[in-house]
Structure 1
């Protein structure tokens, strides 16, 4: 009986979360009400308040689900090995893009509706790669400041991810390959680009 009740609770909470995400694709957050969410999820208001105190509480759980799920995907490959080489497509990169692709509706809705979401993702990556995983670095021109490099790498990776979320015209496999290529690309020279003379 307890297992049946637990499944019912999970099913209801998931229905409310999915309803909120679907509505964020159609309306601004200010336009969405608890009534709209419950109608879309096909549950009554009392049921909503059995699970969440308000709309913000529901949103916070959605954000936590996304952050915790992504963190778990990033860390999973390290349960089997301590070191992962990045010159080839890494299992971490695969898991990041597969996870986002699987939950692309939630990522897109949060990206569009909550500007703070990008900052939260940057904080998540910075936390993971400063506390859980450490990048082994090598530079031919000088000593690397790890914290600066981490900010630089985090901003670049998150920027690419959100470019993909915003446009979503490439496959997850293509983005995995591109992140691997970009991470291993060195800028050789800067070349001035000639411009056509302005017509008088």
Structure 2
């Protein structure tokens, strides 16, 4: 019975998050009502209020889920405990573009609308923190502040993601990973 209940809760939350995402493609969060969310999700208001007090709480959980997945995607190549560098990194190890592709609607809303103002900064801060983890593994290059280096790399990756979104995901995630790897290799030796 407990497993059944857990599945129902997950299913309801997924439906509510998908409904909110669908509505955010049409209008800003402030314009969306709880009634619209539950109607789109095909659940009752009681189900919504069983899990969330406000629509902002639903959005926050949805964003948190996506950020956790972003972190996991970024850390994927480093999980085997190996020291990864540009020299031994391969395209299949870069998972960040797979993550963006899997959450294309979310990232498109962030990049192309004012529906989720402030989330671009939150994503960039998270990317910067992830970059700091990586650059701290290396000896500080003379004259380069590691915080500035991490920020530079984070915003460069975010720029690639934004350009990919603006081109309506014209390229595959593998192509974008290959481009990032090529850029990293070029800039490493220039």
Q: TM-score, normalised by structure 1?
A: 0.83
CA–CA separation in structure 2 for the residues paired with 1:119 and 1:86: 26
Question: What are the ranges of 5 or more consecutive residues in structure 1 without an aligned counterpart?
Answer: 190-200
Number of residue pairs the alignment of both structures matches: 186
Instruction: Specify whether residues 178 and 131 from structure 1 end up closer, same or farther in structure 2 by C-alpha distance, changes over 3 A only.
Output: closer
Structure showing greater radius of gyration is 1
Match of 1:60?
Answer: 60
Match of 1:196?
Answer: none
How far did 1:137 drift? 6.6
Instruction: Specify whether residues 187 and 74 from structure 1 end up closer, same or farther in structure 2 by C-alpha distance, changes over 3 A only.
Output: closer
Q: TM-score, normalised by structure 2?
A: 0.87
Match of 1:152?
Answer: 152
How far did 1:156 drift? 0.9
Q: How do residues 5-44 of structure 1 correspond to structure 2 at under 5 angstroms? A: 5-44=5-44
The question of whether the paired residues in 2 share the 8 Å contact of 1:34 and 1:55 is answered with yes
How far did 1:3 drift? 0.2
How far did 1:44 drift? 0.9
Question: What are the ranges of 5 or more consecutive residues in structure 2 without an aligned counterpart?
Answer: none
The question of whether the paired residues in 2 share the 8 Å contact of 1:137 and 1:144 is answered with no
For the aligned residue pairs, the C-alpha RMSD in angstroms reads 2.4
* Residue deviations 1:19-58 (CA, integer Å, cap 9, x gap): 0001111222222111111000001111111111101001
The question of whether the paired residues in 2 share the 8 Å contact of 1:71 and 1:128 is answered with yes
Give the secondary-structure state (helix, strand or coil) at the position aligned to 2:186. Answer: coil
